[in-house]
Amino acid sequence: MDKATPHPLFKLATELGPLVVFFAANAKFDLFVATGAFMVAMVAAMLFSAIRYRRISPLLWFSGLMVVVMGGLTIYLHDETFIKMKPTVYYILVAAILGFGLATGKPLLKAVLGSTYPGLDDAGWTKLTRNWALFFAGMALLNESVWRNSSTEFWIGFKIWGAIPLTFLFALANVPMLLRHGLARDDAVPAEPGPVE
């Protein structure tokens, strides 16, 4: 694999690693220490990506910015609300960006994940983008409902045992549709991430 191409395990580590740090720090200390640790872990993931692969993906930039801003407000104001709202804001922004892409005829997921789904046709990219936009909108509503109507510990448990499994299950639920639209055909050529025509 090219040194400039992040390994799939690295992508997974940058998504889940900072969350693991957050959960571990919260179990040992409290939410504010965990938030600080979360921020440090995200910045570390971004720095590693910049050094190792000479680039930081748009998704990692976006996630890192959200964590630093909302985490910084949480610590500075000593108010748990901001870190609890961070997933909601993240989900809404992603859903809005994907929705905008659909409205303008450009399924933006193709620009970010082109090489991840070799052989996927244009209809497949459109459906995948639509599905994830709806999923993120639903997750925003779910996160708001959980943090506003439960304890901090329950919300953290929900992030571990609710949000993460739901995301994996939703990804798996899309596989049959992706296969119907050319994913992993024998003659599939990975689409390189880049501008959507």
Residue reference for tokens 């390994």: 7
pLDDT beyond 90 at 59: no
Which of 1-15, 18-32, 37-51, 121-135 has the weakest average pLDDT?
1-15
pLDDT beyond 50 at 103: yes
More confident residue, 10 or 48: 48
Q: What is the pLDDT of residues 119-176, one digit of tens each?
A: 888 899 999 999 999 999 999 999 999 999 999 999 999 998 999 999 999 999 999 9
pLDDT beyond 80 at 112: no
Residue reference for tokens 């209809």: 123
More confident residue, 12 or 33: 33
More confident residue, 188 or 127: 127
pLDDT at 9: 63
- The whole-angstrom separation of Cα 116 and Cα 124 is 13
pLDDT at 139: 97
HEC readout, 75-135? HHHCCCHHHHHHHHHHHHHHHHHHHHHHHCCCCCHHHHHHHHCCCCCHHHHHHHHHHHHHH
Helix (H, G, I), strand (E, B) or coil at 7: coil
- Give the residue-averaged pLDDT of 21-43: 94
> Who's near 176: CB < 8 A, 6+ residues apart?
none
> Who's near 91: CB < 8 A, 6+ residues apart?
136, 137, 139, 140, 143
Do residues 117 and 178 lie in contact, with contact meaning Cβ atoms separated by under 8 Å? yes
pLDDT at 191: 43
Kindly state the percentage of the chain with pLDDT values over 70: 86
More confident residue, 39 or 49: 39
The whole-model pTM stands at 0.80
pLDDT at 3: 53
